[in-house]
């Protein structure tokens, strides 16, 4: 199944890469031009639309690449931050990921159930729970990071290193407070 999904995704990517959009998109764009819409009002000129398309593209490829680990971008992000900051509190993890506690709690419970995360009492404040990766997750993390790099290399294969750095900088300007 995973191999089949990967092949379908590559075919889809190849089709999109070859013409710049899908056939349905081409019809939408042609219809907009035929109705005389301003170029900046065309759907493909809207940043939000293009961000959503790029995001869908990335999420689909991520799902294929990490299917064997059963990780989604959100759970991988949680594990990666816990790996980078062992002993981080759940509240701090949520703040750094921009997640509400109510949304994060079931995900942490899932990761704990799967034997990937441990929650322990904070040494000085027993009300605070600190998070660490289990030994199994710590051992798997380098492989997961390689898979994510492979996914990003595939997803961003048409961009140069300089363009990738620019894209990352511009995306961070949108969502970070530091800008």
Flag whether 173 is in a domain.
yes
Q: What percent of the chain has pLDDT over 90?
A: 64
- The answer as to whether 53 is a domain residue is no
Report the pLDDT value the prediction gives residue 120, as an integer from 0 to 100: 84
CA distances to 48, 93, 115, 138, 157 from 86, rounded to whole Å, are 35, 11, 16, 11, 32
Cα–Cα dist 77/145, whole Å:
10
Q: Of 109, 141, 6, give the one whose Cα is nearest residue 67.
A: 6
Confidence at residue 28, expressed as pLDDT on a 0 to 100 scale: 52
Q: Is residue 23 situated within a structural domain?
A: no
Query: What integer pLDDT is reported at residue 1 of this predicted model?
Result: 39
CA pair distance 151, 153, nearest whole angstrom: 5
The answer to whether position 79 is within a domain reads: yes
Cβ atoms of residues 53 and 29 within 8 Å: no
Q: Average pLDDT of 58-70?
A: 94
Tens-place pLDDT, residues 46-62: 999 999 999 999 999 99
Residue 98 falls inside a structural domain: yes
Q: Which segment of 21-25, 121-125, 151-155 scores lowest on mean pLDDT?
A: 21-25
E strand intervals along the chain: 88-89, 117-121, 129-133
Domain total of the chain: 1
Q: What is the predicted pLDDT for the residue at 20? A: 41
Helix (H) or strand (E) holding 147: helix 135-155
In a domain, residue 172? The reply is yes
The residue among 178 and 65 whose pLDDT is bigger is 65
pLDDT at 67 (0 to 100): 93
Domain enclosing residue 120, as ranges:
72-179
pLDDT at 121: 72
* Residue 149, Cβ density class (10 Å: 0-12 exposed, 13-18 middle, ≥19 buried): exposed
pTM over 0.85: no
Taking a C-beta distance cutoff of 8 angstroms, is the pair 102, 95 a contact? no
Mean pLDDT on 67-79: 96
CATH number of the domain to which 134 belongs = 1.10.10.10
| 166, part of any domain | yes
- Contact yes or no for 145/80 (Cβ under 8 A): yes
88: β partners: 131
Mean pLDDT to the nearest integer, 32-58: 82
Asked if residue 41 is part of any domain, the answer here is no
Is 70 exceeded by the pLDDT of residue 12? no
């Amino acid at each position: 199944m995973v191999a089949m999904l990967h092949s379908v995704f590559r075919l889809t990517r190849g089709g999109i890469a070859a013409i710049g959009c899908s056939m349905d998109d081409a019809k939408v764009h042609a219809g907009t031009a035929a109705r005389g819409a301003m170029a900046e009002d065309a759907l493909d000129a809207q940043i939000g639309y293009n961000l959503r398309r790029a995001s869908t593209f990335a999420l689909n490829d991520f799902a294929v690449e990490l299917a064997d680990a059963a990780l989604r971008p959100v759970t991988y992000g949680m594990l990666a931050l816990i790996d980078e900051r062992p002993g981080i509190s759940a509240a701090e993890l949520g703040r750094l990921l921009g997640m509400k506690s109510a949304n994060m709690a079931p995900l942490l419970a899932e990761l704990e159930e799967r034997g990937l995360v441990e929650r322990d009492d904070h040494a000085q404040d027993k009300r605070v729970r600190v998070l660490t990766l289990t030994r199994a997750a710590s051992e798997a993390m380098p492989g997961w990071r390689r898979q994510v790099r492979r996914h990003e290399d595939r997803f961003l294969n048409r961009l140069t290193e300089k363009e990738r750095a620019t894209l990352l900088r511009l995306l961070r300007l949108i969502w970070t407070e530091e800008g």
